[in-house]
Structure 1
Amino acid sequence: MRFIGCAFFGVCCLVAFTPATPAFLAPFRPYGQNGTLALQNNFALELKAVIRQIPVGNIEKLVQTYLLNDVEFQGVIRAINSLPAYRFYRQLINQPEVRQLQQWVTQQLILSGGGPKIFDYLELEIKIFNKYPYWSQIVSGIQGFQTEFVQIYPVQLIRSLLEPSATQTSPLLSELWRRLVALRPVYERVLATPPGKAITAELQRLGVDVGGVDALIRYQFGWSNVTFPSYDYTDYLY
């Protein structure tokens, strides 16, 4: 399930106008008041704590229910796993800014005693049989899946754990957030390409609320506050 498995890390790297030369961001190194390097928090543990807030078990059950019983959802999964979608995915992760973010995260995880395997938590395991007979009676198309997904995915909580605030004061998480916010042009650029337009049009044809997905992504990574107007958000300028 590449689509869901990359929801936290890959999607954050998802599309139209960037400088010809990408901006390379220097690692964030906090200093104490006396001019010496301040004690750094454990980035691996901090990021793992954020990832653990994603209810993978509930998402896995939801995906399994719809994948086994709903024809509309099955069509969307086939589109996501098609060759054009795979090529789009490769185009996305090969963007220089995305590769730089991946390298930075991997470096920070290793320096803090962890590694990329903490993202294994996001992998889904889908069985091929209905666990409960009534599952076949509770699916309601791709719109039903999207409605249920936004009810269980804690978008506001995840954002609050990443975005700098009075309670989130971790230097490395703040640097990660800054880098995620800076990826907005990449997201817009890739979606504006012919492959991006093609896969978006195909998902829309299959019944996906593409606008709703886009709004969720933009809110999650600090590119917009449209999805949750009540959230106290200040745009980041770079």
Structure 2
Amino acid sequence: MRFIGCTTFLAFSCLVAFTTATPALLAPIRPFSQNGSLALQNNFALELKGVIRMVPISQIEKLVQTYLLNDPEFQSLIRAINSVPAFRFYRQFANQPEVRQLQQWIVQQLVLSGGSPKIFEYLELEIKIFNKYPYWSQIVNGIRGFQSELVQIYPVELIRSLLEPSATQKSAQLAELWRRLVALRPVYERVLATQAGKVITTELQRLGVDVGGLDALIRYQFGWSNVTLSNNFPNYDYYY
């Protein structure tokens, strides 16, 4: 699923800007503790992999497969998000300077910590063309039904708690990642205000997508708002 894969990758790796000059790839300095021994360092690649692994990709994959094979409304949505206007919107977002600079920062940090961008391959969906269970055709409920089911299995509060600095999350690199995510808000709003953004938003609304609920989830997930989603999805449980 190109839409899911692209959106997820951009969400985690297309964050915010630093200087336009590309810094040299220098090995990080390993500080010593007070007793003279090497201080333990957090590993960014392992930390980010841990966050990504919290996304229940197998459950999302099964949900998407169920709706894609059986629900006409959802099939129309998939066609829309794989259309030429949607592709132009994705490319416009991906080509923003802040987004490109953040992608570069993440790749640098992954390489310096012994990882690679391949950790994002976990988020790719593999959809089969046959129903795994016969009853799947009887349990789909249109686009709104898909949205309601998705927010019940996607742990938005958990993902945010793993990224946002707190008493339990003290990683300097994840804190920097979170800072860059929060700073991405103007980019998000700027691209939505473009003609391409307006076209895709209008089309999603026409198809029946709760655009307001989707926007609220995105803003909460990346620290742009602290408004909960209970008004949009009354059955949502943040601690599910």
**How high is the TM-score relative to the length of structure 1?**
0.86
Hey, what's the Cα distance between the residues in 1 that align with 2:198 and 2:13? 17
Residue type of the alignment partner of 2:4:
I
Q: Secondary structure at the match of 1:8?
A: helix
Shift of 1:117: 0.2
1:3 paired to 2:3? yes
Ranges in structure 1 where 5+ consecutive residues have no aligned partner: 15-21, 230-238
Change over 3 Å in CA distance of 1:189–1:63 after alignment to 2: same
2:151 — aligned with what? 150
Residue type of the alignment partner of 2:19:
F
Shift of 1:226: 1.3
Residue type of the alignment partner of 1:6:
C
Superposition pairs for residues 133-212 of structure 1, below 5 Å?
133-212=134-213
Cα shift readout 1:30-81 (whole Å, capped 9, x = no counterpart): 97787x9964311000000000000000000000000000000000000000
1:54 — aligned with what? 55
1:235 — aligned with what? none
Percent identity of the aligned residues?
76
Residue number among 11, 19, 26 corresponding to 1:24 in the alignment = 19
Superposition pairs for residues 28-177 of structure 1, below 5 Å?
39-177=40-178
Residue type of the alignment partner of 2:211:
V
Hey, what's the Cα distance between the residues in 2 that align with 1:38 and 1:188? 41
Shift of 1:3: 1.9
Residue type of the alignment partner of 1:60:
E
CA contact (8 A) 1:162 1:174 kept: yes
Hey, what's the Cα distance between the residues in 2 that align with 1:107 and 1:218? 26
CA contact (8 A) 1:13 1:183 kept: no
Shift of 1:29: 8.4
CA contact (8 A) 1:32 1:38 kept: yes
Residue type of the alignment partner of 1:93:
A
Change over 3 Å in CA distance of 1:13–1:172 after alignment to 2: closer
Cα shift readout 1:64-101 (whole Å, capped 9, x = no counterpart): 00000000000000000001100110111010000011
Residue type of the alignment partner of 2:57:
V
Which of 1 and 2 has higher RCO (CA within 8 Å, sep 6+)? 1
CA contact (8 A) 2:42 2:171 kept: yes
Hey, what's the Cα distance between the residues in 2 that align with 1:32 and 1:202? 56
1:222 paired to 2:219? no
**How high is the TM-score relative to the length of structure 2?**
0.85
CA contact (8 A) 1:65 1:139 kept: yes
Shift of 1:11: 3.4
CA contact (8 A) 1:69 1:136 kept: yes
Hey, what's the Cα distance between the residues in 2 that align with 1:183 and 1:38? 32
Hey, what's the Cα distance between the residues in 1 that align with 2:115 and 2:6? 19
Ranges in structure 2 where 5+ consecutive residues have no aligned partner: 231-240
Q: Secondary structure at the match of 2:8?
A: coil
Hey, what's the Cα distance between the residues in 1 that align with 2:212 and 2:31? 42
Q: Secondary structure at the match of 2:126?
A: coil
